[in-house]
Amino acid sequence: MDSEIDVLVVGAGPTGLTLAAWLREFGASVRVVDRGATRVRESRALAVQPRTLEVLRGLGVTEEMVRRGNTAVRIRMHTARGEVEIPAFGSGLRDTAFPYLLFLSQAETEEILGARLAAAGVEVERGTELTGAGEVTGGVRCTLRRSDGASEHVLARYVAGCDGARSTVRRLAGISFPGGAYPQTFLLADLEADGDLAAGVVHAWPSADGLMFLFPLGRPATWRMLAVREPVGPADPEKVTLEELQALADRRTGGTVRLRDPVWSTAFTIGHRLAKRYRRGRFFLAGDAAHVHSPAGAQGMNAGIQDAWNLGWRLGFVTGGDAGPALLDAYETERLPVGRFLLSFTDRATSAALSARPAARLARGRVLPRVLPLAARFAPGRGYAFRIVSQLTVAYRRSPDVAEGVPRLRRGPVPGARLPDLPVLRDGAYTTIQAELTGPYLHLLLCGDAGPARDAEALAARYRGVLRVHRLTRDAVPGALRDAGGHLLRRLGTGGRGVYLIRPDGHVAYRCAGDDLTGAAEYLHGLLAT
């Protein structure tokens, strides 16, 4: 007889681990399989965006990630005209508790997420491959094969493909993955470097022939090197030697940097592909299985984790019997446009950095060194760019799962937008609004004057275990969150009174002015209809 579970997660990278751990928060039964025999030890993805740190706070892992990582990061551009230093983040990020780009090895991110999943009672089944899957009544019948050749059948209500660019789940679901690859080959290495290299700084050397970066890694080596390989490569293109890396560094840095003690190195190409769909029936795609693109702006792993967060709360409510299957429909509606934007955004940046056209080479070699000092001093422009790269601007305004209530609020975050994170007080202790409105719940936030307590209590009782009620006031009220300066209330645009419903992923589901909860009750009834 087939074993039965709620969700089979295929792939144990950051996306799959996040999804599985998030589902366990909702009480779903989960198995995680990965064809690899061991966990990846190489650093691979390196940067964690502010929005990712916000959502992972719901798993209680963000503090450990920040403790292990490097937050004091600046970018130092080494040009023929001198050095220009630009803050990696900071400007324009006043509404988050994490106004920085965190540098942390993907291996450590996976270790932290894996430990959180194990604490929830789920161990990754490594050396286990999904070899077949087909929809049957009530779920998907999956065939798993272990490294010893033994096979088993599993009946999963849903299957989540978090298994990378060569996704087996995507192939079995019959979802196409159009796109292509950039012609250039890139070199990646974790190593030591000697020279005038300030610690905790991203060092970049722009030139007409391309860019070279040294990122502050810390472990397993001090530096991560990234550069475009020379067009005339070595006889063995699969092999990356210290001699090749040093020769490239000599050309980019004028011989000012000496490389040594490489821990790991590889040559790779970059693809740009987007799945036609993120869902087919009971199959879902997330992370690199759904979208692959240039590492420009450090978007890939972060977008995958946020795919998992969006999909996880939906599957959590559905498998727990708190909502009907219709709740799953908007996952693709919301996340596919994000993937499409990221492909376009990273492609433009990559094309500008790699194009061999004379105008592009001139811009990289001569124009960029002249423009950088001006850009470093233009804080508004940096702030706008930082918010996009940080993924704090991601919103689902056209989603069928968000709604504007009546009377309408004229200001504040619109339905589908992220709830800004600002300080509040709980029982006299400082916290933030996002930290209070976290976990596997919908959150009803009553803003301003107290309003009808009985209506809120009745609504919470009707959706017990799913809905939590919070009050936000300027005055000290027992049990309420206090916005003593009124900064958050002004940001929410509520004036005297207002109502916000916040989803488990931290986005605004519903809002209205006043304190009448009729519209909120109707919205909840429609969203969670079983």
SS (H, E, C) 260-291: EEEEEEEEECCEEEECCCCEECCEEECHHHCE
Give SS3 for 300: helix
Contact by Cβ (8 Å): 169, 159 = yes
Q: Which token pair is 507?
A: 């986005």
Strands 497-502 and 508-513: antiparallel
Q: What is the pLDDT of residues 386-426, one digit of tens each?
A: 888 889 999 999 999 999 999 999 999 999 999 999 999 99
411 domain-assigned: yes
Of 22, 43, 34, 36, the residue nearest 123 (C-alpha): 34
Q: Which domain holds residue 116?
A: 3-58+106-178+272-335
Contact by Cβ (8 Å): 22, 319 = no
454 domain-assigned: yes
Of 328, 315, 343, the residue nearest 400 (C-alpha): 328
Compute CA 204 distance to the chain's CA centroid, rounded to the nearest angstrom: 25
* Alpha-carbon gap, residue 59 to 21, rounded angstroms: 7
CA angle 18, 19, 21 (to 5 degrees): 65
Exposed/middle/buried for 121, CB within 10 Å: 0-12, 13-18, 19+? Answer: exposed
Q: Same structural domain for residues 160 and 284?
A: yes
pLDDT the model gives residue 369: 53
346 domain-assigned: no
- Eight-class DSSP state of 167: -
223 domain-assigned: yes
Range 56-62 contact pairs with CB under 8 angstroms and sequence separation of 24 or more: 56/18, 56/305, 57/434, 57/435, 57/438, 58/22, 58/25, 58/309, 58/438, 58/439, 58/440, 58/504, 59/18, 59/21, 59/22, 59/25, 59/113, 59/116, 60/116, 61/112, 61/113, 61/116, 62/98
Q: Same structural domain for residues 257 and 193?
A: yes
Last residue of a domain, one of 394, 417, 444: 394
pLDDT the model gives residue 43: 63
Q: Same structural domain for residues 434 and 518?
A: yes
501 domain-assigned: yes
Output the domain CATH number for residue 418: 3.40.30.120
Output the domain CATH number for residue 112: 3.50.50.60
Q: Same structural domain for residues 425 and 497?
A: yes
Q: Same structural domain for residues 42 and 123?
A: yes
Q: Same structural domain for residues 8 and 111?
A: yes
Question: Within the chain, which residues score under 70 in pLDDT?
Answer: 1, 41-43, 72, 87-92, 208, 232-235, 351-384, 450-452
Number of domains in the chain: 3
345 domain-assigned: no
Contact by Cβ (8 Å): 126, 148 = no
Q: Same structural domain for residues 447 and 497?
A: yes
Of 260, 412, 308, the residue nearest 58 (C-alpha): 308
64 domain-assigned: no
Asked whether the whole model's pTM tops 0.75, one would answer: yes
Output the domain CATH number for residue 254: 3.30.9.10
Q: Same structural domain for residues 317 and 458?
A: no
Q: Same structural domain for residues 502 and 366?
A: no
65 domain-assigned: no
Q: What is the pLDDT of residues 485-514, one digit of tens each?
A: 999 999 999 877 999 999 999 999 999 999
Q: Same structural domain for residues 99 and 199?
A: yes
Compute CA 331 distance to the chain's CA centroid, rounded to the nearest angstrom: 15
pLDDT the model gives residue 357: 60
pLDDT the model gives residue 389: 84
pLDDT the model gives residue 378: 47
Residue 522's contacts (CB-CB under 8 Å, 6 or more residues apart) are: none
Omega before 220 within 30 of 0, i.e. cis: yes
pLDDT the model gives residue 75: 83
Instruction: Count the residues in the chain.
Output: 530
Range 372-381 contact pairs with CB under 8 angstroms and sequence separation of 24 or more: 372/77, 372/79, 372/84, 372/86, 373/84, 375/86, 376/84, 376/85, 376/86, 379/91, 380/91, 380/92
Q: Same structural domain for residues 123 and 193?
A: no
pLDDT the model gives residue 371: 52
Greatest CA separation for the chain: 76
* Alpha-carbon gap, residue 520 to 44, rounded angstroms: 44
Q: Same structural domain for residues 128 and 276?
A: yes
